[in-house]
Structure 1
Amino acid sequence: MRRVVITGLGAVSPLGHDVETTFENLLQGKSGIVSVSKFDTTNYPSRIAGEVRDLDISPYLTPKEAKKVDQFIQYALVAAAEAFDDCGIDLEKVDLNRFGTLIGSGIGGLPMIERQHKILLEKGPRRITPFFIPSLIINLASGHVSIKYGLKGPSSAPATACATGTHAIGDAFRMIQHKHADLMIAGGTEAVVTGLAMAGFGSMKALSTRNDEPDKASRPFDRDRDGFVLGEGCGLLVMEEYEHARARGAKIYAEITGYGMSSDAFHITSPSEDGDGPIRAMQAALADAEVNPEEIDLVNAHGTSTPAGDAIEARAIANVFGDNTKELMVHSTKSMIGHLLGAAGGMEAVILAKSLQTGKIHPTANLDNVDSSVAFDPLQGDAREKDISIGLSNSFGFGGTNGSLVFKKI
């Protein structure tokens, strides 16, 4: 089986418009969660989010072009530009027929839907832009990146709710392993800090209502957590067949060694109490990577800050790692940027790759009172510096879909 490595990273997040800014702010324990500025939240139960603010898209799109694409596509183009620059690849020297795109989204162009629906009601159907449909459909993030860089390999876009980014990376990993491509750019992108999305999640009572303390609202694994905080952004990896990367002298962040998937087959939004689905996803990823649980140094948890979800994940981790759970470091990136939905797995994969490369591990913010379900080291307090070799990243989505990835330092 062919080996697959990570050679480029790109990110847009509530903590920065690139990987380094985002990563450094996470290490410092800074929060990107703020009071929502994109619309009037007066009558909303939750009025906070991890917003991407002041993003300059002019280097990537003209004002005319920007109007034709929803924000989730814009975020993908910005992150892709960084990832390509980071990997240092000369596109004129690679076979573009063997370079693919796999960028998914949980929801897609909801902001565009809201705007165009308003136009429909106020001005009629003839005023709807002809770019409406191409702007909102999920595969157009992959489509625009493919078109911009001339990537003619496999092109697809998973839409598996909050597991999207992880599934995109895992599926791209398989494509390279099985010789369908030599290079892939993969991950997730999301831009749904909108009135409709926040009203919908609010009606489910899924969101934190700690509106007076936005920076303290996302509290994964904390006893006083009260729901997740909606976030937005994009996280992408350039992935490459190992010998291909070596031949061009590429910088390598980590090797992707394992990918596991499962389904809860239980409920449309809630995982089962026993954590069966997450347990099987983690076990499948470990088996695929051919590593034992005690070899894992760090888990980037799904850790959304929901009362039920965090406790179930904590129990699932304890089940998988057994006697080694106490020594296991587990953190949640969502504690500082919120839940990026379909982009979460991509962003967290970027952060895991950076931690393996640098030995720097960000804390889990807002852990004032660690929940009784937690048996691992939840990285309370300050960032750590430790040479780590193997890490695992979890993502679980509505519909009971689960995904886990294993990365190994080279």
Structure 2
Amino acid sequence: MSGRHPSGGHPSGGHRVAVTGMGVKCPAGNSVEEAYARLLTARSTARRVPHLVEQDLPVHFACLVPPFDLDAYLTRREARQIDRTTQLLLCAAADAVAPAGLPADRPLDRVGVQIGTGIGGLPSMEAVTLSHGARPRDLPVHTVPRTMANSPACRLAMRYGFQGACTTYSSACASGTTALGEAARKIRYGELDVAVAGGVDSAVTTVVMGAFARMRAMSTRNGEPALASRPFDADRDGFVMAEGAAVLVLERMDAALARGAVIHGEIAGYAETCDAFHIVAPHEDGEPAGRCMRLAVADAGIGPADIGHVNAHGTSTLRNDRAEARAIDRCFGGQSPPVTAVKGVTGHLIGGSGALEAALALLCAARGVVPPVANLTGSPEADLVDLVGGTARTVAPAHVLSNSFGFGGQNACLVLAPAP
């Protein structure tokens, strides 16, 4: 999908930021096009996970990345040295970097890596603790590098020799969006020419699943996992855990145009705020999240009426969906554009969600399609927001607002502009 933008400058000053590569490894598919096609079907990817059943956890299901040829991306030695989180990120990055066609002579100190993760190395720490907790003298030699939260980003930088800023962001479920937004800022204001940015998590583990279940944050529909993730639905009872990674290649718009790159779209606006209210619950009136949306729209140099649709965070939890609906209503002054929510299909990738949803939102915006929310049969929020249910809705190609909200009251929003 290609397009040509006038290069110009960003409305708030600095460079415009083009998206020239996208790669994903997620429950809906192992490419952006596969994930997009599954999204349009509104069919959940949740399924029973044997090890969760064997551990007798309250929740027996999750959304997992479908099998793919790991050998096509990593040597056996590389795969042994890193954990699944880093594996997924490196594979998604390879699918983004290669098609972007970055010039071989580009200064490596002007290319950075910006990655978000909500869970970080916790699954690796859990695994080594359960297997070697009674024998600490026998811990595997790769324990520290496998459990470091910044390992995915650093391994990615090492693989390609990128020597610009290499930063890991952890803002809970907003981590992937934060990474993309901060990467765009670094390009906009001249710190980097190119950034390989995104998010990743792989947390379908005994302790993580047990801990979230203990909070009663996850759906317990063990008998019907495909119906469990139902953002904004009246019968929602919690989110569905998922794993996955999504990586976007960002670069200066003028440079991308000059080299004739395929441009998938643009990161036009970004903002972040904090509820400063509760460690796991959102601010009920949605004001801080709504302010984040308004700031992102303003940062893009447009108005709310220019937003073609909203990609909601839409976790399928009672309080979060309700607060987000109120926030959207506040942002758009009661004139909600069409609203969709990817997690009905993919589940919740935690730190990977925002990056995956940004990639999918760009495709949807450019093609003028708003996917339906999976499992949406009726919603108490329908009087506040224009939820798309049943079948996809056709709209004119336009900017899309993509929301991510995390524990701790972390709010991050992106405004994405499609290529023509």
TM-score range relative to shorter protein: over 0.9
Task: Normalising by structure 2, report the TM-score.
Answer: 0.94
Q: Tell whether the 8 Å contact from 1:71 to 1:109 is kept in structure 2 after alignment.
A: no
**Once the 2 structures are TM-superposed, how far is the Cα of residue 42 of structure 1 from its aligned partner?**
5.3
In 2: Cα distance, 1:361 partner to 1:95 partner: 39
In 2: Cα distance, 1:53 partner to 1:117 partner: 27
Structure 1 stretch displaced more, 33-42 or 104-113:
33-42
Of 64, 67, 76 in structure 2, the residue corresponding to residue 54 of structure 1 is 67
Q: Percent identity?
A: 41
Of 246, 261, 277 in structure 1, the residue corresponding to residue 257 of structure 2 is 246
Q: Tell whether the 8 Å contact from 2:308 to 2:396 is kept in structure 1 after alignment.
A: no
Match of 1:79?
A: 92
Match of 2:409?
A: 400
Of 273, 278, 288 in structure 2, the residue corresponding to residue 262 of structure 1 is 273
Gaps in structure 2 of 5+ consecutive residues: 1-13
- Residue 127 (structure 2) pairs with residue 115 (structure 1): yes
Match of 2:5?
A: none
Match of 2:373?
A: 364
Report runs of 4+ in structure 1 exceeding 4 Å deviation. none
Match for 1:56: what amino acid?
Answer: D
In 2: Cα distance, 1:60 partner to 1:39 partner: 28
Write the deviation string for residues 237-281 of structure 1: whole angstroms up to 9, x where unpaired.
111101110111011111111111101010000011111221111
In 2: Cα distance, 1:201 partner to 1:184 partner: 33
Residue correspondence of structure 1 range 136-155 to structure 2 within 5 A = 136-155=147-166
In 2: Cα distance, 1:300 partner to 1:40 partner: 33
Q: Tell whether the 8 Å contact from 1:216 to 1:366 is kept in structure 2 after alignment.
A: yes
- Residue 201 (structure 2) pairs with residue 172 (structure 1): no
**Once the 2 structures are TM-superposed, how far is the Cα of residue 73 of structure 1 from its aligned partner?**
0.5
- Residue 33 (structure 2) pairs with residue 9 (structure 1): no
In 1: Cα distance, 2:311 partner to 2:28 partner: 18
Match of 1:64?
A: 77
Q: Tell whether the 8 Å contact from 1:98 to 1:153 is kept in structure 2 after alignment.
A: yes
Residue correspondence of structure 1 range 96-111 to structure 2 within 5 A = 96-111=108-123
Match of 1:350?
A: 359
Give 3-state SS (helix, strand or coil) of 2:386's partner. coil
Give 3-state SS (helix, strand or coil) of 2:250's partner. strand
In 2: Cα distance, 1:19 partner to 1:373 partner: 29
In 1: Cα distance, 2:383 partner to 2:226 partner: 22
Residues 293 and 63 of structure 1: CA distance in aligned 2, closer, same or farther (over 3 Å): same
Give 3-state SS (helix, strand or coil) of 1:239's partner. strand
Match of 1:45?
A: 58
Q: Tell whether the 8 Å contact from 1:36 to 1:47 is kept in structure 2 after alignment.
A: yes
Structure 1 stretch displaced more, 59-68 or 96-105:
59-68
Match for 2:82: what amino acid?
Answer: V
Write the deviation string for residues 78-124 of structure 1: whole angstroms up to 9, x where unpaired.
1000001231223x1322111100012101123321221123235x1
Write the deviation string for residues 125-144 of structure 1: whole angstroms up to 9, x where unpaired.
22211211111212111111
Match for 1:177: what amino acid?
Answer: R
Of 49, 60, 64 in structure 2, the residue corresponding to residue 36 of structure 1 is 49
Q: Tell whether the 8 Å contact from 1:260 to 1:403 is kept in structure 2 after alignment.
A: yes
In 2: Cα distance, 1:57 partner to 1:409 partner: 31
Q: Tell whether the 8 Å contact from 2:174 to 2:406 is kept in structure 1 after alignment.
A: yes
In 2: Cα distance, 1:147 partner to 1:309 partner: 38
RMSD in angstroms over aligned alpha carbons?
Answer: 1.4
Of 324, 328, 341 in structure 2, the residue corresponding to residue 317 of structure 1 is 328
Task: Normalising by structure 1, report the TM-score.
Answer: 0.96
Give 3-state SS (helix, strand or coil) of 1:108's partner. coil
Match of 1:273?
A: 284
Give 3-state SS (helix, strand or coil) of 1:6's partner. strand
Residues 288 and 68 of structure 1: CA distance in aligned 2, closer, same or farther (over 3 Å): same
Match for 1:402: what amino acid?
Answer: N
Q: Tell whether the 8 Å contact from 1:314 to 1:374 is kept in structure 2 after alignment.
A: no
**Once the 2 structures are TM-superposed, how far is the Cα of residue 160 of structure 1 from its aligned partner?**
0.7
Q: Tell whether the 8 Å contact from 1:315 to 1:374 is kept in structure 2 after alignment.
A: no
**Once the 2 structures are TM-superposed, how far is the Cα of residue 207 of structure 1 from its aligned partner?**
0.3
Aligned residues: 406
In 2: Cα distance, 1:121 partner to 1:139 partner: 23
Residues 158 and 374 of structure 1: CA distance in aligned 2, closer, same or farther (over 3 Å): farther
In 2: Cα distance, 1:339 partner to 1:26 partner: 14
Gaps in structure 1 of 5+ consecutive residues: none
**Once the 2 structures are TM-superposed, how far is the Cα of residue 303 of structure 1 from its aligned partner?**
0.3
Give 3-state SS (helix, strand or coil) of 1:157's partner. strand
Match of 1:333?
A: 342
Give 3-state SS (helix, strand or coil) of 1:227's partner. coil
Match of 2:317?
A: 306
Match of 2:389?
A: 380
Residues 185 and 115 of structure 1: CA distance in aligned 2, closer, same or farther (over 3 Å): same
**Once the 2 structures are TM-superposed, how far is the Cα of residue 404 of structure 1 from its aligned partner?**
0.4
In 2: Cα distance, 1:335 partner to 1:37 partner: 22
Q: Tell whether the 8 Å contact from 2:26 to 2:244 is kept in structure 1 after alignment.
A: yes
In 2: Cα distance, 1:198 partner to 1:312 partner: 24
In 2: Cα distance, 1:159 partner to 1:38 partner: 27
Match for 1:117: what amino acid?
Answer: T
In 2: Cα distance, 1:249 partner to 1:197 partner: 45
Match for 2:203: what amino acid?
Answer: V
- Residue 239 (structure 2) pairs with residue 228 (structure 1): yes
In 2: Cα distance, 1:373 partner to 1:387 partner: 22
